[in-house]
């Protein structure tokens, strides 16, 4: 299986998975809101990612829809193959299309994890990110809640999303960090977190790797391989709602990546 993994392999949350993952934010309606226009196609993209293209890293969040994509993942892929990592995120509320707001109250985070477990039909979220740091709630309280859920067996590893080097250093006092997910692409390429995570041997999951589509098409091979060649700890998660585009993304990852 490892030799078939697009982009090579990486170890995240106790699994050896493909470095090229699949980001699922586009599998909703406009504004990352509601159901996709073509539900059957959304299910087909998910199945093609795993069963046709050997992508074993599926990234999602309870805020996508909200809740829409977690339901789609369950419908498309359950029962989940043992080698596939389904990573989700909690800690964001959606008042309306295109509107996002962090919410890190301990009771909300706990309820969100429980709800994601039910939607995904899982006993444990193997990798659960804090979607955003809520500035209105002490960071230690947000991380402590996820750590408690981890101790209860409901979370495998805890990740962080859209964080700074200082955030990582602060979080490391409270939790063992399983992965960090930040924006990184050839148009937005300066993130000191990349080097810090390399030194700490923590996976760096690059979201928006094609800069919301501006680096897609003929630019995709260069853009994705630029990310893959930043280090073996970097794992891009491009997204699409098209099976054809998905195939192009996988083909864009060459064997030249380190």
Q: How many domains does the chain have?
A: 1
Domain housing 240 = 2-252
pTM for this predicted structure? 0.96
What number is the average pLDDT over the span 118-128? 98
Q: How confident is the model at residue 255 (pLDDT cuts 50, 70, 90)?
A: very low
172, 134, 123, 178: CA torsion to nearest 10? -30
What number is the average pLDDT over the span 219-227? 90
Catalytic center residues: 64
Is residue 186 assigned to a domain? Answer: yes
- Is 209 within 8 Å of 227 (Cβ atoms)? yes
Least confident interval from 190-194, 204-208, 251-255: 251-255
Number of other residues whose CB lies within 10 A of the CB of residue 54: 19
Is residue 103 assigned to a domain? Answer: yes
pLDDT in tens, 224-236: 999 999 999 999 9
Is residue 36 assigned to a domain? Answer: yes
Is residue 180 assigned to a domain? Answer: yes
Residues whose CB is less than 8 angstroms from the CB of residue 19 and which lie 6 or more positions away in sequence, other chains included: 5, 6, 7, 8, 9, 10, 57, 228, 232, 234, 235, 236, 257
Is residue 257 assigned to a domain? Answer: no
What number is the average pLDDT over the span 208-224? 83
What mean pLDDT is reported for the chain? 95
Is residue 171 assigned to a domain? Answer: yes
CATH number of 192's domain: 3.20.20.100
pLDDT in tens, 74-105: 999 999 999 999 999 999 999 999 999 999 99
């Amino acid at each position: 299986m490892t030799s078939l993994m697009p982009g090579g392999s990486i170890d995240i949350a106790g699994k050896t998975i493909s470095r090229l993952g699949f980001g699922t934010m586009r599998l909703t309606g406009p504004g990352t809101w509601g159901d996709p226009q073509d539900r059957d196609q959304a299910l087909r993209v998910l199945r093609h990612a795993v069963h046709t293209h050997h992508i074993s890293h599926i990234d999602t969040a309870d805020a996508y829809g909200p809740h829409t994509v977690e339901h789609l993942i369950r419908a498309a892929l359950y029962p989940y193959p043992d080698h596939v990592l389904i990573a989700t995120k909690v800690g964001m509320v959606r008042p309306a299309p295109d509107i996002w707001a962090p919410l890190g109250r301990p009771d909300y985070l706990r309820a969100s994890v429980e709800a994601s477990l039910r939607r995904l039909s899982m006993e444990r979220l193997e990798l659960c990110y804090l979607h955003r740091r809520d500035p209105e709630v002490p960071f230690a309280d947000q991380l402590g809640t996820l750590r408690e859920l981890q101790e209860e067996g409901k979370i495998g590893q805890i990740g962080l999303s859209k964080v700074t080097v200082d955030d990582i250093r602060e979080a490391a006092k409270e939790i063992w960090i399983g992965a960090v997910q930040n924006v990184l692409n050839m148009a937005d390429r300066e993130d000191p977190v990349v080097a810090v995570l390399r030194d700490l041997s923590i996976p760096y999951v690059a979201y928006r790797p094609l800069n919301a589509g501006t680096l897609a098409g003929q630019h995709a091979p260069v853009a994705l391989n630029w990310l893959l060649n930043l280090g073996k700890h970097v794992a891009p998660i491009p997204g699409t709602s098209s099976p054809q585009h998905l195939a192009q993304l996988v083909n864009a990852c060459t064997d030249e990546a380190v």
